[in-house]
Structure 1
């Protein structure tokens, strides 16, 4: 693997800074999103989503739990993991302040306020959790399966690293809290102490990144110890099985991601971090193989992961029911975290395509246009109409239905918020010879290559609506270097236009290497014409159906009125076409069968002389934004 330099600067930080790998990530000071689809969502995130999350956490007492006196600790409000939501909010605020857009000083003031409260709640030995260990509460680490104490600490460490890398320094107060908490974890769970693991992986990620920031080796060693302790069934039995806690099988012995989707993905990401920093290439290959198999057999068309509501888990291979898709927003964020780490470690550009799919079809779908309501789960078939929810009511249910302003378990909103705030860090990397563009977003890039040369690019694109990408060189020194572009699998017929002419290019990485001139442009033309997509025949739930995609977007049929989407049939012999409101297909609505016994002779229930008529589909990320509706992604054929 190519050696890369650790992050030694306080500003312009990156969420992930591996000490080695095929690719070096760029930070917020090097890549700035300037417009288009994702800049709009970043701005909504800053202006509405982050304040919305803060107001709910204040209202419900989640932030106040850090300042509650011991006498009132037994009356603490919220679930045992709500500390983590405050930490994720702090991380989102830190990345947002690092963007330098809007009112970063106001965010810094909020960060300082919350840090003061958190520091005051920390015990003398570094332990920090508001639901355990105080008067009237259960003892520390008395419920490792469900207590989420180490999980919360992991999010604290990630928040502190974000703050230190976006304007803080080695003396940052939040970093001081995080180091004391990490030191406590190492003392309590080190090699000669309790052999426990947390029921929800996350501490591994935080410990490795804190090691990368501080150079403190014990943090990496403790993360590696947690990874190796996994899978030995040290946690109590549970009716969902040990797989729910990622404790049924050692990481090195698993063939595929399984069990609770978010837990499995966080653990896999932490294992990649450990593998990279310890030079354990066998572990890295093992996790990559697990993820690849999950992508091939256990992932929805949208990139969503998790097909079981009961235990929020991956199903078996090819068990992907559309109407019971769980596909939690947090699982989408976690899958991006894992794919990004594998991309940096291996240089394999197909992981960039995974990130793209999840961004456009899970993350973009999750949050409402006003930034103040969100999906927890992402069904691919809504059978009953959604309904407007009260704007001031916390929701208890997670799956199905409309976007909600808040859930009793609201892990997904701050998770999406921290990803969106730091999104510029997931677009571009440096390799041995130049820059690699993984996501096409309107942006300005100014950085240095590994040999110290300064280079710069300006990227403009109409994606996801228009597939033209223009890359303009803004800084160079006359010596040759490379610009690597990713041609997605969906872009059949793509063409590359440079000063040397036009040529057809196939999917994969396209390298343009030469001595560029300032002002020189490269244009990549990615066809975004709509297309039918067929499922693998082993997916029983979607056999006999097709879906429609256009560019990176998945489309869906949405009914705002009386149309019964369960009777919909699409003519897949007529190609889908672009229309102003979306994508048009030819379809019909069969007459519903008679009430009574729902079985009969083959073909009798589908016989219908009606002709097909045009039906307009909308991007999946736009569904449930126009009012109560039903929806389906997979469309039965005529």
Structure 2
């Protein structure tokens, strides 16, 4: 359906230029942006991601208002507005953000089509937010109700600007989706207040400081893009550049040890780090700042080569939700917060647009299908805050936010509404265009439309991906007398592929790729068809030997999916004693009745017998490895996609499998 156009900005605010075809999503480039690519418009219609989004729309999102009510978030807004009595409810000063993230998710859903009930909930909650705002624009129910109106006295932990950032992003989403100004007016009023208070030394502003949890920075860039008001872009730049100068005590935890421009690795709290780097990428895109771009490229490479789990998950430590040392990638104690996976997608997408390089979308694919999607139950009602790569036999679950069991909601409920907003806006991350053509970053069924210097070009995609490797693309809109390039991302994991384009067929040996792209340039006609066939043969993957936690182990992958063993599929004992026979062939079996329909991978293994050592579980061997005795009888192992684990019954799970 046609997208409603946003209401015109005030006369004092220049409107940003809008391309002929634009994506209604979280990133809309400003006029004069220095990006290589522009987000394209995608309408998903069928297949894997369409199903996951339908569950999000039908189950997860409608539950939001009830959950926010029961947790007290909406009650706090009424207290701040003076329309209710009682005590503040919630353990943290940032509980308002759960409301804002849900509003953003609901707005992106409204952009897909009308829903009277969802729209009514959105308008009701926006009115609550507006009523809670103070006359000068400030809004944070914790500080208004619990701290007696005290402001900006605890930037390290108070999260006031973090809350403002999520409010701004919700407002931008609502404005883009509906054209209505109510929430955008609230957000601008808050942003103007922040701009009046924060600034560098010599600016005459009251406070030179940054928030302990980056988030407002990328939100301010998007507010600039939505309104054309350059003050917001400049304020975002000020905040980004003040991290690393000791304003928060100089801790790596909150990105205050070293400035972004000088950093050589990612560190500290994973979500905070990635939100900050997403903002740096936004600033590099809008200003052409080469130093920020270089820092982003350098830090992304450091993250992917030394601090990223096979699933795309990020974060080694439970205690501070942060990155560890290089190659410190534990299994059962992997943190891999769902919010960190979401932040990774947001940062990588901005880097993909800025540079035009496909490697960023390689990581997006890996993260979406594995590290992110595992955080949402198949029924859309339960969540994982952390996403470990192993749950041992006899595991005792700690419960709460560190549980390895799916939970209805959390005391710190950042992940569920964050996942809702990514799923609701997912089509935004699938394709892009430039002056030369259309780029397909992710493969899903639907219509992909780009802008070729004001002329729309489009393709219709049909695919059974990720279960099947064939992707069919049929040209729709196209200029009749002008060549353009259809670029297809060849995934990093793909060892072999074929492409049929008309009467011409290519494979990896004679179809050159540049920056991960297979580029097909010609003068297209409506109905022209391209078929890309990716080899989905299951494979065994080993880690860098410096990853001590998985030395001597392999993982099973197929296409973009990481697989795991679950106890329920492998009876006859626990999983801790399983040894994989890596010489035996892997086979696949599609199971439409299992876990919503999945392709399983079948492998061969044995159960090792470890001699009883008595009361001491260590053996002196004179330097030789301790002997274990494998069972003579091989066992068939059934592996399921990692994203689908913990949807049936509690039990052991593991991704990395010993081979000896």
TM range (shorter): over 0.9
Change in Cα spacing, 1:399 to 1:134, as seen in structure 2 (3 Å) is closer
Match for residue 3 of structure 2?
A: none
1:424-457 deviation per Cα after TM superposition (whole angstroms, max 9, x unaligned): 111110022110000000011234312x222221
Gaps of 5+ in 1: 390-394
Cα distance in 2 for partners of 1:527, 1:76 equals: 52
How far off its partner does 1:285 sit?
0.9
SS at match of 1:34: strand
Q: For 1:299-314, what aligned pairs fall within 5 Å after superposition? A: 299-314=308-323
Match for residue 465 of structure 2?
A: 463
- Per the normalisation by structure 1, the TM-score is 0.93
Q: 2:57 aligns with which of 35, 42, 46?
A: 46
Match for residue 541 of structure 1?
A: 549
How far off its partner does 1:236 sit?
4.3
Match for residue 235 of structure 1?
A: 248
- Per the normalisation by structure 2, the TM-score is 0.90
Match for residue 584 of structure 1?
A: 602
Match for residue 96 of structure 1?
A: 109
Cα distance in 2 for partners of 1:93, 1:468 equals: 33
Pair 1:202-2:206 in alignment: no
Contact 1:11 1:165 in 2 (8 A): no
SS at match of 1:248: coil
Cα distance in 2 for partners of 1:382, 1:315 equals: 20
Contact 2:431 2:440 in 1 (8 A): yes
Q: Which moved more, 1:129-138 or 1:242-251?
A: 129-138
Match for residue 436 of structure 2?
A: 433
How far off its partner does 1:105 sit?
3.0
How far off its partner does 1:128 sit?
0.7
Cα distance in 1 for partners of 2:406, 2:43 equals: 30
Match for residue 413 of structure 2?
A: 410
Q: For 1:70-149, what aligned pairs fall within 5 Å after superposition? A: 72=85, 75-100=88-113, 103-134=114-145, 137=148, 139-149=150-160
Change in Cα spacing, 1:604 to 1:538, as seen in structure 2 (3 Å) is closer
Q: For 1:253-268, what aligned pairs fall within 5 Å after superposition? A: 253-268=262-277
Match for residue 574 of structure 1?
A: 584
Q: Which moved more, 1:83-92 or 1:556-565?
A: 556-565
Q: 2:330 aligns with which of 305, 313, 321?
A: 321
Cα distance in 2 for partners of 1:121, 1:138 equals: 13
Contact 1:67 1:117 in 2 (8 A): yes
Change in Cα spacing, 1:386 to 1:48, as seen in structure 2 (3 Å) is farther
Contact 1:385 1:628 in 2 (8 A): no
Change in Cα spacing, 1:636 to 1:181, as seen in structure 2 (3 Å) is same
Change in Cα spacing, 1:6 to 1:15, as seen in structure 2 (3 Å) is farther
How far off its partner does 1:48 sit?
0.8
Match for residue 235 of structure 2?
A: 222
SS at match of 2:629: coil
1:373-422 deviation per Cα after TM superposition (whole angstroms, max 9, x unaligned): 011010000114679x9xxxxx9622242110011011011111101001
Cα distance in 2 for partners of 1:73, 1:256 equals: 46
Contact 1:60 1:78 in 2 (8 A): no
Match for residue 5 of structure 2?
A: none
Match for residue 629 of structure 2?
A: 607
Cα distance in 2 for partners of 1:167, 1:266 equals: 26
1:95-126 deviation per Cα after TM superposition (whole angstroms, max 9, x unaligned): 000011xx533222222111111111111111
Gaps of 5+ in 2: 1-15, 592-599
Contact 1:73 1:135 in 2 (8 A): no
Cα distance in 2 for partners of 1:174, 1:68 equals: 19
Match for residue 625 of structure 1?
A: 647
Contact 1:21 1:346 in 2 (8 A): no
Cα distance in 1 for partners of 2:266, 2:253 equals: 11
SS at match of 1:131: helix
Contact 1:531 1:575 in 2 (8 A): no
Contact 2:88 2:142 in 1 (8 A): no
Cα distance in 2 for partners of 1:62, 1:396 equals: 22
Change in Cα spacing, 1:127 to 1:10, as seen in structure 2 (3 Å) is farther
Cα distance in 2 for partners of 1:306, 1:231 equals: 20
How far off its partner does 1:25 sit?
3.3
Q: Which moved more, 1:436-445 or 1:495-504?
A: 495-504
Q: For 1:183-582, what aligned pairs fall within 5 Å after superposition? A: 183-191=192-200, 192=203, 193=205, 194-236=207-249, 242-384=251-393, 397-450=400-453, 452-479=454-481, 480-505=483-508, 508-560=516-568, 561=571, 563-581=573-591, 582=600
Match for residue 12 of structure 2?
A: none
Cα distance in 2 for partners of 1:597, 1:26 equals: 60
Q: Which moved more, 1:595-604 or 1:533-542?
A: 595-604
Alpha-carbon RMSD = 2.1
Cα distance in 1 for partners of 2:42, 2:317 equals: 38
Match for residue 35 of structure 1?
A: 46
Contact 1:307 1:320 in 2 (8 A): yes
Q: For 1:163-202, what aligned pairs fall within 5 Å after superposition? A: 163-169=174-180, 172-191=181-200, 192=203, 193=205, 194-202=207-215
Change in Cα spacing, 1:611 to 1:152, as seen in structure 2 (3 Å) is same
SS at match of 1:302: coil
Cα distance in 1 for partners of 2:356, 2:137 equals: 38
How far off its partner does 1:6 sit?
4.4
How far off its partner does 1:142 sit?
1.7
